Structure 1
């Protein structure tokens, strides 16, 4: 991340090493998001809770910038944090289980080793010196998840210590700093021409899997806008309306304006040592498609270029939003797989509401039956099988990304319609 992070031990509040050694992913978050994603965003700024205010005050009083412009932040520990126990033995046992798993999966072993080598070569982690391998501090477990022949290493700040508490129990989550995804998805459909880009994050001692990491990374970008935004006025709109997590989207009605906005977005990000990568656009002459070394290999076939834009599949050249069937080879039917795959239906704009409603009804019926994971009724199995067969037809949908609006449009009317049988 463009931030440099400083980690503090619980006992002494002095800089301490953070040791990466493993956890279990949970279904709760995606299922919760599935139910909450259609909620209408609040139209007013909600006041911060006491803990959120404490976390924000901690960031304001402790963040700094080095000579290169990079932001240095500190982990926001709670003022009334409970005692943290030892974690080294627990992490070592997790590591032993991981190594045993890797010994039976050579390809996963190779990808895992490549990840760790890259992590070290980029300066995101460093070898712990013998004098620092005590039981003090916190050992952060991790494990690997394979998807589409790619590995994603998951760090687990919720691994318990001998006291029963985790490091995440001691840390603030922080107030919500991200834009509502509904608003961002509407924004990316406003302009005729758009670009998208990813912020490259360097995580040295604070990493994903710790509770405040999303807040700290996004808050650092907000601070960059506060510190440098007045020098780059055209870059403010993409930050304020087109940013979500590490994605930034900007748009304009003509190519020259699009290029100018992208140039200023990049220049402002570099002021904070936030390099940008993976540039995409629906205009074939967008300058970053040809000038950015990291983009050339990804966009050399513009007509076939496909990407993700705020969680939606986006075909750049025809400028279409698409839905894809994520589970070509589905596992055995169980309560867990039904919940997991249903939660993957991501549709904040309501483009496939009839499908999502059917999925929610099925999910409700599944909970009402109060059966175990392998005790599904024939009726539920039949409904799920039929639903999956029809779900693949979503890939036939092609939705224009642009709403045919222009910057000088002052009024927009939305008309509903009804069907009769």
Structure 2
């Protein structure tokens, strides 16, 4: 079936393009998106929608104005500029020193009319600079006055490395709009040929990170001035390179999108991630094929795998050479001051080259895509293996802010067995198997010291006594091997100043709770931010006093999580497990919690909270309480499947509980208008739902029953079930 025919059938049958059900697309509540482009349509219709978009664009390219309103999407504005003039301002690229001594390249604007230099909040965070308190109001930036967020000192360097200067800059949320306003094609102006431009990408529309004031302008300006023909920019020589200014002729079409949907996902109705058994996406299929084609085993036993690169990566990498060179020069200066460091570093790099891990790049074709890795040395005197460690910084951002590490993921090995003998055998097999591939397992930790006594000191995570309370980081949590328990560390800082929406989001985002163990607290944080969001305040405007008071109370409760202890052990995997899962909803949120009930080595029954998940009710559209109860039931069914995959135990009894008789009736009837796909999924699931009377463990979350003491919090971590299963 051709894409045109697909689109014609969908349109004539009045089918929703996103979920393929027969209802108006304006009323679709599905949050699933196209797997190819993340567009608001089904993956099957990707080509059809892309062709349709091209037709609509070509038919409307002769006009300018706002785009048609798209339901349930962020506001868009389309602009078409035909044969227009673009005012080219004096932008330049400049290397700025980070707090760790490295350099990153920022986009700067040279402004003769500014009395003080300015830098964006984003740039300060990327640089990791310490700021000083400085209250000032800056006028003339955008509309109205902007309040400064402190003062920083910045060390700047030419991208060509031949000029340095230091200045102070006020920190603002935003310095200026993207410059130029639209991207245009470079012209072959004869008078600009062979000039060392301060901004080689002067034609690319990018954010301004730094505004340099008139004092810097007078400091770097030089005598050289080159004028070209009409409609061509003027070149002025500076110590940082040649800067361009003037009018240029452009022919451009651009689309500006104000993307606010990511934050709204906090309170949209969503599902658990699809099962891992689902079909692979085109990108995942490409990775599988790439692995099969490029993996080979060397004579030494090691494995060699090609580096998987995303499609069209060459257009996304940007420029990284200047930053790598700048950091290398910084490294050379450090070597001059530390001869021992210099000798160790040179020895390491020479050995690296002799082993064939790297080679000299001769006759590099600059037209081909490349990423230059900055590198630096880290000395750890207390290291048991290598005192000097050379770090190849794959996280270094290029001019396009892309990183190589975005395409990779690596984690520690986590596992366990039911007996110490099984653990020893597993440990031995793992060490020998990976050693054959040239991979040495190190940094071992265990809740049983017997498993570590035969290991050498360089194989342990760090020398520690099992009698102490030292904890190890595991998946962002803290694991105490001596007590075999997980714990949290409160990441929220105590501040007495007024709270803005930006600060609120920043602090809430630090609460890392991947398994939902802190759901009674995290849902309060979500509700708090949802309330602030609904007021439509600006990001740096103080929230009302009522929200500030709620935040102070929540912050006080968050101090308890330092003492919040969760046992890791959930029982012997060879014995019978019971899963008791609860779901519930209120007019503000819906939630579910999954508990695993088993027996310990003494035969005593134990219950543990395995995972919980919460979701806020949507703001834009009022959803009835029964429908939210149904959302919770579907979320619970999908979460149970995830727990079953993790347990890898077929000897499991599953009990799903809800206090809503309406939901039980709907699951039985499988009919509720346009959302019957949810009920079909629930009715076809092997999970059986039952009715629970009284306070459920889902209600402990949705009703925000938060204990004031750690001892009372244990009632949320365990269940005490002694009743009879009642079929709904």
Q: What is the distance in 2 between the residues matched to 1:128 and 1:76? A: 21
1:169-207 per-position Cα deviation (integer Å, ceiling 9, x unaligned): xxxxxxxxxxxxxxxxxxxxxxxxxxxxxxxxxxxxxxx
1:74 maps to which residue?
A: 306
Residue 466 (structure 2) aligned to one of 285, 302, 314: 302
2:195 maps to which residue?
A: none
Q: Does 1:61 align with 2:227?
A: no
Q: Does 1:159 align with 2:324?
A: no
1:316 maps to which residue?
A: 481
The offset of 1:355, in angstroms, is: 0.6
Residue 555 (structure 2) aligned to one of 388, 394, 409: 388
Report the TM-score, using the length of structure 1 for normalisation: 0.58
Bigger shift: 245-254 or 392-401?
245-254
Q: Taking structure 1 as reference, are residues 95 and 41 closer, same or farther at Cα in structure 2, changes over 3 Å only?
A: same
User: 1:253, 1:406 within 8 Å by CA — same for their partners in 2?
Assistant: yes
3-state SS, counterpart of residue 414 of structure 1: strand
- Structure with the greater relative contact order (CA < 8 A, sep ≥ 6): 1 or 2? 1
Q: Taking structure 1 as reference, are residues 321 and 58 closer, same or farther at Cα in structure 2, changes over 3 Å only?
A: same
Q: Does 1:344 align with 2:539?
A: no
3-state SS, counterpart of residue 416 of structure 2: strand
After superposition, the CA RMSD in angstroms is 5.0
Q: What is the distance in 1 between the residues matched to 2:431 and 2:564? A: 34
Q: What is the distance in 1 between the residues matched to 2:510 and 2:294? A: 38
Gaps spanning 5+ residues in structure 1: where? 1-19, 104-108, 145-150, 169-208, 215-244
1:246 maps to which residue?
A: 411
1:342-392 per-position Cα deviation (integer Å, ceiling 9, x unaligned): 223222332211111011112323333443443222434443333222211
User: 1:250, 1:261 within 8 Å by CA — same for their partners in 2?
Assistant: no
Q: Taking structure 1 as reference, are residues 79 and 317 closer, same or farther at Cα in structure 2, changes over 3 Å only?
A: closer
3-state SS, counterpart of residue 251 of structure 1: coil
Q: What is the distance in 1 between the residues matched to 2:374 and 2:502? A: 23
Mapping of 1:223-302 within 5 angstroms? Answer: 245-286=410-451, 288-296=452-460, 298-302=462-466
1:409 maps to which residue?
A: 575
User: 2:500, 2:540 within 8 Å by CA — same for their partners in 1?
Assistant: yes
3-state SS, counterpart of residue 462 of structure 2: helix
Bigger shift: 38-47 or 63-72?
38-47
Q: What is the distance in 1 between the residues matched to 2:321 and 2:348? A: 24
The structure having more radius of gyration, on CA atoms, is 2
Q: Taking structure 1 as reference, are residues 395 and 99 closer, same or farther at Cα in structure 2, changes over 3 Å only?
A: same
The offset of 1:264, in angstroms, is: 1.0
The offset of 1:34, in angstroms, is: 8.8
The offset of 1:76, in angstroms, is: 2.8
User: 2:374, 2:393 within 8 Å by CA — same for their partners in 1?
Assistant: yes
Report the TM-score, using the length of structure 2 for normalisation: 0.35
User: 1:320, 1:400 within 8 Å by CA — same for their partners in 2?
Assistant: yes
The offset of 1:309, in angstroms, is: 2.6
The offset of 1:138, in angstroms, is: 2.5
Q: Taking structure 1 as reference, are residues 378 and 87 closer, same or farther at Cα in structure 2, changes over 3 Å only?
A: same
The offset of 1:43, in angstroms, is: 3.3
Q: Does 1:45 align with 2:277?
A: yes
Q: Taking structure 1 as reference, are residues 314 and 92 closer, same or farther at Cα in structure 2, changes over 3 Å only?
A: closer
The offset of 1:77, in angstroms, is: 3.8
Q: What is the distance in 1 between the residues matched to 2:265 and 2:465? A: 34
Q: What is the distance in 1 between the residues matched to 2:411 and 2:371? A: 26
3-state SS, counterpart of residue 308 of structure 2: coil
1:362 maps to which residue?
A: 528
Bigger shift: 248-257 or 117-126?
117-126
1:377 maps to which residue?
A: 543
1:67-95 per-position Cα deviation (integer Å, ceiling 9, x unaligned): 12222122234566665787256536975
Mapping of 1:7-46 within 5 angstroms? Answer: 22=104, 40-46=272-278
Q: What is the distance in 2 between the residues matched to 1:252 and 1:32? A: 42
Q: Taking structure 1 as reference, are residues 411 and 88 closer, same or farther at Cα in structure 2, changes over 3 Å only?
A: closer
Q: What is the distance in 1 between the residues matched to 2:526 and 2:393? A: 28
User: 1:290, 1:296 within 8 Å by CA — same for their partners in 2?
Assistant: no
Q: What is the distance in 1 between the residues matched to 2:520 and 2:551? A: 15
User: 1:306, 1:315 within 8 Å by CA — same for their partners in 2?
Assistant: yes
Mapping of 1:158-237 within 5 angstroms? Answer: 159-160=398-399, 209-214=404-409
Gaps spanning 5+ residues in structure 2: where? 1-101, 106-122, 127-259, 377-388, 583-694, 706-728
3-state SS, counterpart of residue 280 of structure 1: coil
User: 1:322, 1:395 within 8 Å by CA — same for their partners in 2?
Assistant: yes
The offset of 1:328, in angstroms, is: 5.3
Q: What is the distance in 1 between the residues matched to 2:443 and 2:347? A: 19
User: 1:251, 1:258 within 8 Å by CA — same for their partners in 2?
Assistant: yes
1:8-43 per-position Cα deviation (integer Å, ceiling 9, x unaligned): xxxxxxxxxxxx9848789x9x9899999x963433
Structure number with the higher strand fraction is: 2
User: 2:310, 2:407 within 8 Å by CA — same for their partners in 1?
Assistant: no
Q: Taking structure 1 as reference, are residues 376 and 167 closer, same or farther at Cα in structure 2, changes over 3 Å only?
A: closer
